[in-house]
Amino acid sequence: MKRHGWVWLAAGLFVMSGCGVDLVEDGPSDSGEVSSSGIALSFDYSGDSDVKKIKYIIKTCHGRPVLEEVRSLEDLELPGMIPEFMDSPLDGDSSHLFADMFTVLEEGCYHVKIVPLNKYGKKSRDCDEAYMNYVKVKEGRTTEVMLISQCDATEENGALDVIGVLNHPPVIRAVKFDKFNTECDEVKVCVVAYDPDGDPLKFRLEQKSGPPLLSQPRKVGYDNDNGGPVTISGHEFNGGGNGNGLGDYQCFKLRLGERGDYEFKASVYDMMWDGDDMVPFGYDSKASLTFPIYAGEGEDGCCPVNGAPNGL
């Protein structure tokens, strides 16, 4: 009966892996001499996975256990430091963590499997097992097998897309009102403004000082009787006074109180959408202007019973 010669099986792991890779290569020796290989260096970095070691399991093709051994990851990467592995099947610019196990076996048929392990010696949650069945080991030659264990990323990457936008505050172009009045008069104030970015505008008029008002400022239209374009302080508008255009205006009416000096502040804010609502771009994105209104004493020293507002 023919005696079976002893040969070596070199099994190497990539830490990217899939379940069976059809890659079996005979060693380079044709002289009958026994080829040798093997790396015994340790490596404790696990990349993006929990793998620290590799368990190698070898059985005969009839299912008889032959070997079960655990090896640490190496302190170099394939194929970056090993030219022989470039383009077979890994790209020359790639670098993969791996472990290596070299053993001597009788000539025959074997099933080979690798099981990635974590630092506790448990099966990896990130990287799959890989195997190859019916590996032929021949007399006097080394059969080299590369098994690739596919690993899942522990976390998916997202993306950030940042758009830088410049916003300019509104500009007040004019404020039209009657500066000199009589106590208890009704006064109309119209504010003309525009926004350099074309944002919608919101107008506000508030009293800053002076005697109490008989009625607070309220928004009103311009009361343009001819139905044509509205002209306010030399600025012509075709519509609205709604405070939502590139160039716009808003008028207010208020009733002065007793005689005295009044100060008012007109403010214009540019607006943006926040869901279904419009909100100011920010407290600082505004234009403001303060101005005085004076009220003198009436002829009878009191408010007229039917005081008419001053015309604009």
**pLDDT (tens digit, 9 = 90+) per residue, 22-38?**
333 443 333 343 333 33
Burial class (CB in 10 A: 0-12, 13-18, 19+), 84: exposed
How large is the average pLDDT for residues 223-230?
62
35-63 pLDDT tens trace: 333 333 333 344 568 889 999 999 999 99
The three-point CA angle 169-198-223 to 5° equals 95
The three-point CA angle 54-60-64 to 5° equals 95
Q: In the prediction, which pLDDT does 283 show?
A: 81
Q: Catalogue all structural domains in the chain, each as residue range(s) with its CATH number.
A: 51-137 (2.60.40), 171-225+246-296 (2.60.40.10)
95-108 pLDDT tens trace: 788 888 899 999 99
231-272 pLDDT tens trace: 776 666 655 555 555 678 999 999 999 999 999 999 999 999
**Helices H, strands E: what count in the chain?**
0, 19
| 239 or 217, which is more confident | 217
Rounded-to-integer distance, Cα 247 and Cα 173, Å: 9
Is this model's pTM higher than 0.85 or not?
no
116-155 pLDDT tens trace: 999 999 999 889 999 999 999 999 999 988 888 888 865 6
Q: In the prediction, which pLDDT does 296 show?
A: 93
